[in-house]
Each structure stands twice: as structure tokens, then as C-alpha cells.
Amino acid sequence: MSLILTHGYFIADDAIEQRIMRPYPPLGLLSISAWLDREGVDHHVVDATFLDADTFVQRVRALRPRMMAFYVTLMTRHSVLRLIAALGGAEDSPVIVLGGPDVRHNAADYLSHGAHLLVVGEGEQTMADVARLPAAACRDAAALAAIPGLIHADAQGQPVFTGERRFVPELDELPEPARHRIDLRPYLKAWRDAHGQTSLNVSTQRGCPYKCAWCSRAVYGTSYRRRSPQHVVAELRTLVDRYAPDQFWFVDDVFTINHNWLAGFAEALDAAGLRIRYECITRADRMNERVVELLSRTGCVRVWIGAESGSQRILDAMQRQVRVEQVTAMIRAASDAGMQTGTFLMLGYPGETETDIVATERYLRDARPDLFTVTLAYPIRGTLFHDQVADQTTSPPFDQGSDRDRRYPRTYSDDYYRHAVRLLTHTHAVSTAPRPFGARALAHRVAWCRSRLGMWWHRRNGMQPA
């Protein structure tokens, strides 16, 4: 076996995923696999999701690859580094190639922890070029210099970048992800057991032209490219015929960014006689009455509309380029059209005060989304947010944590934010309760009071460590 593509994500180690159980196949890897198939590159995909680390290592060793390529995110960094250590050290150890959003701005660390080559940017053609290299050439600076989109170490161990690779200009040139390379049955079963329905993920675009200060653009930059509606519908038809999922998840950053594309998507679905159900993410400023109608017409059953904060001051600091009123109005419009709605919130952004948190609570109460998530802000390397707090940041050793563990002086203590998260949870429960003064709603009102008191206490007595 010449090459293994993998990712090092184990669902059994992910406590949050164990609770929500919404796993999806590794779409990026399967896109690269499909490209390698078309280029005639011998390879194998090892999907780690439903394995454990010991079984994964045994399976890889049995295949005896010449090269291993891991897709790495900040969530999988720790496990990937452990796997590299477990698979390395012998004379016949594989060449280790890493790609994904975590490698560009952590290149020196990854190279010093066992990686030989890093693929930055779009991975299909770069991975094909790397896979064709003879083993000796993988450490030959002259040979590597001819392949754009790579980072490798020089004789002194310092990162050397071979330059940006041009993006694939037309996404219709990409083959459909090679889903046949892995077993989708565990994914479908996990969904069916947890939710009574199945779901598969699909990508219609790459990149996002917006420049939110906290968002990483390490792979696609600020580019925006999209597959034609007809190309997407052809893939959906294949998936419906082959796997019959009950719904789809469009993984795109801003699904409604192009209104003409969305209208074309509706026409392409009609022309194919295809009826689907799906969920997606978008921005309120890329929605209006026509877009809501098109979402409903094309089968959208759940739309996530990013907010991050209910404070306009914080949204402006994040460079979100959206108004709180827009988000509230579009969540209500989507809900009125019969779609389930969700929103994302972030607490602890630099400069946030309790007044801003109260504004976020007010937004949640006014918008009344069906679902919401809340996270504490953390600075990702390569973002404006990170640059703004870099000189105040502390981090664990590279192989013992990720950007999620990077600490900077938030306005309040960790205990304060624990109460603030609970406050939002109870606010949402009360505002969406079918019986606002029923027993359950009253219990949440009491818990809200406790959370508010906890915030006051820790604001008064708690100090956030530097």
C-alpha cells in the first residue's frame, strides 16, 4: 500500500458528540480520495471515526503504507500527534503528511512533532503530487520546491513554504467525494438509533468572503467558489438512490450567499423531480423574504443563522458586518415559514461586559430560535482575534492542548461565565416554553434567578487570572 488517507478522529473520545450523536463522514478526505482515484494514485482510506486508537494502529500497520496523510483540526491535534508517535520510530515508518486548517499557522510545531510534510490550502492536487514522489524525494528540498502548497523543514529544522497553490477555479471539475471508500453504515445507524432518521453531508461551495475576526481562513482564505446547481443536484440524486438518507446537511459556511444560485438550485431540483429535506447555515444579511421562500421551496427544514452576540458593540468588534435586528427578524421569518431555527452564541469576547451579555440574553428572548449553541471565545492562530490578544495569551504545550485551551484575560472569571451560560439556557427555555407559567417554565425562572445571582457574586468577588 503506497498511501493511506485518514483523520484521527475517534467518536468514542468525543463526549459532546456522544451526547448529540450527529456524526458525518470525512467529506474533505473523501474529496481528495476521489481526486486521487481520477489521477490513478494508489491509496486507501482508513476512517477512524468508529474505531479506537489501538485498532486504528493495528489496521494501519497491517497495510504497511509508504505514506500516511492525516487531516488535522484543532479538535484532532492531540490524537493525531499520539498516532504519529505510535506509528513512527522504525526504519519502515511511513512518511507523515498533514493537511487541514490547523497546520498552516502551527507548521513549526507539527514539523517538530514528527510530521514530514504539511499540505496548506486546497489539498487535492498537492496531495496527488506528493503521493507520486519517491520516498527519497520526500526529504529532498529541490524536489519539494517544485510542488506549490507545501511546508517542509530545512536542514536546520525551520519551516520552508513552497508557495501558494492556485485554487481549483471551477468546482464542477471536482469529482464527487469517494464515499464508497468507507463504510457509511455506522454513520447511518448512529443517526437512526439517536434520531429516528438518517442524514448525509454535502458541500456546494468552498470559502467565505467575510472576514469575521475570530474565524480561521487557513485553507480557502477569503475565496468563494460554488458548484453549479445542476452538479449539486446530480450528487443528491446519486445519494438518494444509493443510501436513501432522510435529510442532508449542507456544510457550506453561508448557504444563501448567492440568491441567484439558490433560485437555480430550486429550478434544478424541480427539473430532476427531486424532493429533499436539509439543514444549512447562513447569515441574516444574506436572507430576505425571497430567500426564506426559496429555502422552504427547496426543502430546508432547519436553518442556523449566526449571531455570536446580541450586543451590536461586540458584533462590530468581531467584524461580523450584521445588525442584531437583522438576525432577530430573519430567525422569526424562517420560523414563521415553518422551518426550525438555530443560532450560535459566543461569550467572553475581548471587551465584553455584563451589559453585552444582557443584550445577548435579550436577543435570545426576542428571536426565540428553536435551538442555540453557546461557546466561550478562544483565539485561533492566524485570526485577527488571536493577533489582538497574542501578547496576553498563555497556552499548554503544543501536544497537550489546542487553541481551545489558549487562555487570555477575559473580563470575568470562569465561574462567572459558567453562570452566564446557564442564564442563557434558562432564558431560552422560558422564552420558548409552550406554557410560560407552567411548572417547567417556573423551574427555569427560579434557576435563572440563581444564575443571575451567581453572576453578580462572581463579578463582585471573582478575579480572572491573567
Among 245, 118, 136, CA closest to 192: 245
Give the residue from 355, 377, 399 where a domain finishes. 377
Q: Is residue 453 part of a domain?
A: no
The range of the structural domain enclosing residue 287 comes to: 197-377
Distance CA 431, CA 368 (A): 6
pLDDT value at residue 1: 55
Residues 232 and 314 in one domain: yes
Residues 83 and 207 in one domain: no
Q: Is residue 456 part of a domain?
A: no
Q: Is residue 459 part of a domain?
A: no
Residues 138 and 240 in one domain: no
Residues 213 and 328 in one domain: yes
Residues 132 and 207 in one domain: no
Distance CA 120, CA 221 (A): 11
Give the residue from 377, 411, 441 where a domain finishes. 377
CATH number at residue 346: 3.80.30.20
Residues 153 and 22 in one domain: yes
pLDDT value at residue 89: 73
pLDDT value at residue 465: 44
Q: Is residue 179 part of a domain?
A: no
Residues 231 and 348 in one domain: yes
- Count of domains observed in the chain: 2
Residues 125 and 235 in one domain: no
Amino acid residing at 137:
A
pLDDT in tens, the chain (466 residues): 589 999 999 999 999 999 999 999 999 999 999 999 999 999 999 999 999 999 999 999 999 999 999 999 999 999 999 999 999 877 788 999 999 999 999 999 999 999 999 999 999 999 999 999 988 888 889 999 999 999 999 989 899 999 999 999 899 999 999 999 999 999 999 999 999 999 999 999 999 999 999 999 999 998 899 999 999 999 999 999 999 999 999 999 999 999 999 999 999 999 999 999 999 999 999 999 999 999 999 999 999 999 999 999 999 999 999 999 999 999 999 999 999 999 999 999 999 999 999 999 999 999 999 999 999 999 999 999 999 999 999 999 999 999 999 999 999 999 999 999 999 999 999 999 999 889 999 999 999 999 999 999 999 987 554 3
Q: Is residue 188 part of a domain?
A: no
pLDDT value at residue 160: 97
CATH number at residue 125: 3.40.50.280
Q: Is residue 249 part of a domain?
A: yes
pLDDT value at residue 136: 83
pLDDT value at residue 139: 86
Cell numbers found for residue 371 = 435551538
Q: Is residue 119 part of a domain?
A: yes
Give the residue from 377, 401, 418 where a domain finishes. 377
Residues 211 and 68 in one domain: no
Residues 125 and 244 in one domain: no
Residues 201 and 345 in one domain: yes
Residues 213 and 335 in one domain: yes
Q: Is residue 450 part of a domain?
A: no
